[in-house]
Amino acid sequence: MESMLGVVVAKYNYWLYVVLMMIGFYAMIGKRNLVKKLLGMNIFQTAIILFFVSMGAKRGGGIPILDKEAALAGAVKVAEVVNPLPHVLMLTAIVVSVSVTGVALAVLQRIYKEYGTLEEDEILDKIGRS
């Protein structure tokens, strides 16, 4: 039982990522304002990006930039640098999340021009499907 507690405490960052992800999920489902929903979606995405990047982190690991002479002379000590593969994958995810935000905000402006409000229930009232 004590080792179980040790595992829970040692991976504290994963639990906090789950909390962040659920905050974003609540904002996407529970909030009525469309901008609030979009902010929640952004929080959700960044929680997942945080999870992936932290999987590549190592205790005592340096940044993944190698000295050229040392790398050519011998083998690279992989235990001393953090894993750069999740970083590269998540770089793409950050750019995708910003483009999604841009397109969603453009759609929101169009909705505001059409209905004069950004509240979900007022829009549903106006299109007669409350």
Partner 1 sequence: MIWQLDLLILLMVVICAIATITIRDLLGAAIVFGAYSFLLCLLWAEMGAVDVAFTEATVGAGISTILFIAAIFRTTRRSKD
Radius of gyration of the chain (CA): 22
Q: What tokens appear for 121 in the block?
A: 């229930």
Residue among 79, 45, 40, 73 nearest 59 (CA): 79
Single residue of 12, 68, 128, 129 touching partner 1 by CB under 8 A: 12
Plot region of 46 (φ>0 → left; ψ -120 to 50 → alpha; else → beta):
alpha
* Least distance from partner 1 to the Cβ atom of residue 82, Å: 4
Binding status of residue 62 toward partner 1 by CB under 8 A: yes
Q: Identify which of residues 8 and 57 has a Cβ nearer to partner 1 in the complex.
A: 57
Contact 24, 42 (CB under 8 A): yes
Single residue of 6, 8, 32, 126 touching partner 1 by CB under 8 A: 32
For residue 107, give the H/E element and its range. helix 85-115
Q: Identify which of residues 73 and 88 has a Cβ nearer to partner 1 in the complex.
A: 88
* Least distance from partner 1 to the Cβ atom of residue 129, Å: 19
Q: What tokens appear for 35 in the block?
A: 């901008």
Residue among 64, 48, 57 nearest 96 (CA): 48
Which residues form the interface with partner 1 (CB under 8 A)? 12-13, 16, 19-20, 23-24, 26-27, 31-33, 35-36, 39-40, 42-43, 46, 49-50, 53-54, 56-65, 81-82, 86-88, 90-91, 94-95, 97-98, 101-102, 105, 108-109, 112, 117-119
